[in-house]
Every structure is written in structure tokens, then in C-alpha cells.
Amino acid sequence: MFTVKPFGKVVICGGTSGYNLDFDVRYLWMKQKEILGSHFANAYECMRANQLMAEGKVRPVLSQAMDFDGVPHAHQLIHENKHAGKITIRVGAVSDTDGKHAEGAGAIWAEVGA
């Protein structure tokens, strides 16, 4: 709440840090800040998103795929905003095609600098 600029929003997704908020509400109304609760989707929206991906109408943009030991590097790339799309981590796989069970368009591989 304290780091959000005036007229900014604090978006809470889930309750991973607990469900009790404890702060001086004057920081909220004196600086015209907002608190907004959010979630990914309801059951229908989640099913529809999965359906669109299965139909190939929505494809994730992948920047890189890394082995599990690349997790620290992936975190650093994200921290420095040096990625052009999602970064996937292979767990128990040695190539990008391991675990693929059906033919299809799959992900779009991003080109760095595109």
C-alpha cells in the first residue's frame, strides 16, 4: 500500500500472504488509492480458455525453454525484463518435444528484439 503512487491500485490475487489487511487507512484515502481483488477466472472462463488453447486459437509466446537448473537464470531474466515472452522450465524432459502427445501449432517462439 505504501509503495503505490497516488491514484494507483493495489491488486490482490488470492490470499497467499493471509487474509487480514493491517495498515493505516489514511494512506488509502488521502492518496486516492484503490484496493482491487482479482482472480484468474470462474469455472466456465477457465474451461473456455483451455478450449481456445486446445483449438490453437490462443498460443503462448515463448521466449526460451530451459532445463530445471536454469531456474535461477530465468528468474534473473524476468527480474531484468530481458525476455520476449514466457519462459518454460523442462522438468524431467531433455528436449522441447518431450511430453508432446498431439500434433498442433503449439507455442509461438518469440524472436529477441522483435
* Domain residue ranges in the chain: 9-38, 58-109
Lowest mean per-residue pLDDT among 2-6, 45-49, 88-92, 108-112: 108-112
Segment holding 90, helix H or strand E: strand 86-90
Query: pTM for the full model?
Result: 0.47
C-alpha to C-alpha distance for 39 and 11, rounded to whole angstroms? 10
96 burial type by CB count under 10 A (0-12 exposed, 13-18 middle, 19+ buried): middle
Confidence of residue 114 (pLDDT cuts 50, 70, 90): very low
Average pLDDT in the chain: 81
The predicted model gives 55-83 an average pLDDT of 88
How do residues 81-105 score in pLDDT, each as one tens digit?
888 888 888 887 778 777 666 676 6
Beta partners for residue 57, in sequence order: none
